[in-house]
Amino acid sequence: MTSNTAGGPTRRERMRAETIAEIKTSARSQLEEAGPSGVSLRAIARDVGVTPAALYRYFDSLDALLIELCCDFYDELIADTRAAMDASPPQAHLDRMKAWVWAFRTWAVANRRRFELMISYPEGNGALMVNGAQLEQAPENVDRVTLKSLEHSQLCGRELAAFWRQTEAEGGGAPGGPPMPEVSDALARELQDKCTTFIVGEPVPLPWIFSFTSAWVRVFGLVVMEAFGSLPVQENVDEFYKTQIMAMLRDFGIEG
């Protein structure tokens, strides 16, 4: 009998959930040992104690399993990031953005194999690579990993918008630091389309968007290089990262 009069999951549903958890645990283990290319359905089936064909009752393909893992990893990253940001008061937007930057780096470096999967699978899942028109017209066609990536990115982008509003209310204007270089109308539109619409969430002056996107690229590049051991600095990485963040803040006219 599989029904549950109390309204909870049935025995069949519990068994299915347990098997899915075992499959994911095995896949995670393979990922940590051999990277994304080392995850094998045949090895997972052997580890879980089922036939390879039986796995297709739970995941349509290896791609489907890897996408599920990516979403799980983004949930972990998002939870850690929220916790780090919430250590600062809601109105401390600059401190909350700093917390996002540090939490991203900390999680990625501590979970290099997971991060490797997240940035490489499926192809084109980076938040700033999103086709704005596609999201506007058919959001249901956007893959789940991209949506999770956007959710993580928006944690920082929304704080930028709030920080800009706060600065405006206090009589500020464009970000301080070096003046923004001249850009083409095409680049300005692309920044507004992708970054403003889907990361920041509301219209923000172009100089702010340009500085934010420039900082974003630098942070992402630093984190990727550190996670894969490619930084020119190896023994003083924390200090190097901190100085890079301070340099980025100066692009906004902020010291410290």
Q: What is the pLDDT of residues 21-47, one digit of tens each?
A: 999 999 999 999 999 999 999 999 999
To the nearest whole percent, how much of the chain has pLDDT over 70? 86
Among candidates 82, 115, 74, which has minimal Cα distance to 99?
82
Mean pLDDT for all residues in the chain: 87
Set out the domains of the chain in order of their start, with CATH numbers: 11-55 (1.10.10), 62-251 (1.10.357.10)
**Mean pLDDT score, 71-96:** 96
59 versus 172: the higher-pLDDT residue is 59
Encoded tokens for 157:
């982008």
User: Is 127 exposed, middle or buried (CB count within 10 Å of its CB: 0-12, 13-18, 19+)?
Assistant: buried
Q: To the nearest 10°, the Cα dihedral for 129, 153, 252, 222? A: -70
Q: What pLDDT is attached to residue 23? A: 97
160 versus 138: the higher-pLDDT residue is 160
Cβ partners under 8 Å of residue 17, min gap 6: 9
Task: Tell me the one-letter amino acid at 101.
Answer: V
Alpha carbon distance 75, 8 (integer Å): 24
At residue 124, does pLDDT exceed 90? no
Q: What pLDDT is attached to residue 1? A: 46
Alpha carbon distance 217, 234 (integer Å): 21
Alpha carbon distance 238, 234 (integer Å): 10
Q: What pLDDT is attached to residue 125? A: 55
Say if residues 250 and 177 touch (Cβ distance below 8 Å).
Answer: yes
The label of the residue with tokens 């699978």 reads 121
Alpha carbon distance 184, 182 (integer Å): 7
Q: How does residue 95 score in pLDDT terms, banded at 50, 70 and 90?
A: very high
For residues 1-14, b (16+ Cβ closer than 10 Å) or e, as one string? Answer: eeeeeeeeeeeeee
Q: How does residue 133 score in pLDDT terms, banded at 50, 70 and 90?
A: low
Q: What pLDDT is attached to residue 248? A: 81
Q: How does residue 130 score in pLDDT terms, banded at 50, 70 and 90?
A: low
